[in-house]
């Protein structure tokens, strides 16, 4: 299910200026038959007043993955970056004058495959969103929150199927 942007905008607008907003993206690769796909999960974490817990909004979409090298998933990782930047721009009117961070599930460590796009991804977010993105290990919205959203969405889907059975 897609993020209801109007609902999210109203929710953010209703929060105090002390509330912090974290926008993140993560993806994982999977095979369906002989075709590779990627599940892209986008999340927005609204940290209420910066100290009173948070509300998580998210969506997961599946798209064909054309990366040839599994160990250097440049295209998939940059798709995450494009998607999180697009979400930021859609929310920009309600994000003004708020503390906002963009989190990328990319590691600067040369030992990790995601390192292949770290400079390109940081530059893209700086240029498009005019914010300094956070990368691993400081990018909790992209790693922890996106993983948790996908897990909760999967559990909700399983519960719905059980109720229907």
On whether residue 162 sits in a domain, the answer given is no
On whether residue 59 sits in a domain, the answer given is yes
On whether residue 122 sits in a domain, the answer given is yes
Report d(CA 28, CA 35) in Å as an integer. Answer: 14
On whether residue 164 sits in a domain, the answer given is no
pLDDT at 156 over 90: no
Kindly indicate the confidence band of residue 56, based on its pLDDT and cuts at 50, 70 and 90.
very high
Q: Quote the number of domains for the chain.
A: 1
pLDDT for 95-150, tens place per residue? Answer: 989 999 999 999 999 998 888 999 999 999 999 999 999 999 999 999 899 888 98
Indicate the pTM of the whole model.
0.92
Q: Print the domain residue range for 125.
A: 5-157
Report d(CA 151, CA 158) in Å as an integer. Answer: 11
The CATH number of residue 146's host domain is 3.30.420
What are the Cα distances from residue 51, in Å, to 18, 44, 120, 126? 9, 16, 33, 27
pLDDT at 77 over 90: yes
């Amino acid at each position: 299910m897609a993020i209801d942007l109007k609902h999210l905008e109203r929710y953010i607008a209703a929060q105090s200026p002390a509330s912090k907003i974290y926008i993140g993206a993560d993806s994982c690769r999977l095979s369906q038959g002989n075709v590779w796909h990627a599940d892209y999960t986008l999340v927005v974490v609204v940290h209420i007043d910066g100290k009173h817990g948070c509300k998580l909004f998210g969506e997961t979409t599946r798209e064909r993955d054309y990366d040839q090298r599994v160990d250097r998933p440049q295209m998939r990782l940059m798709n995450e970056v494009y998607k999180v930047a697009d979400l930021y721009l859609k929310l920009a009117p309600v994000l003004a004058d708020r503390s906002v961070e963009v989190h990328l599930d990319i590691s600067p460590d040369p030992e990790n495959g995601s390192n292949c796009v770290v400079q390109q991804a940081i530059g893209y977010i700086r240029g498009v969103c005019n914010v300094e993105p956070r990368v691993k290990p400081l990018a909790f919205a992209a790693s922890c929150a996106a993983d948790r959203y996908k897990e909760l969405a999967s559990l909700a889907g399983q519960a719905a199927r059980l109720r229907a059975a």
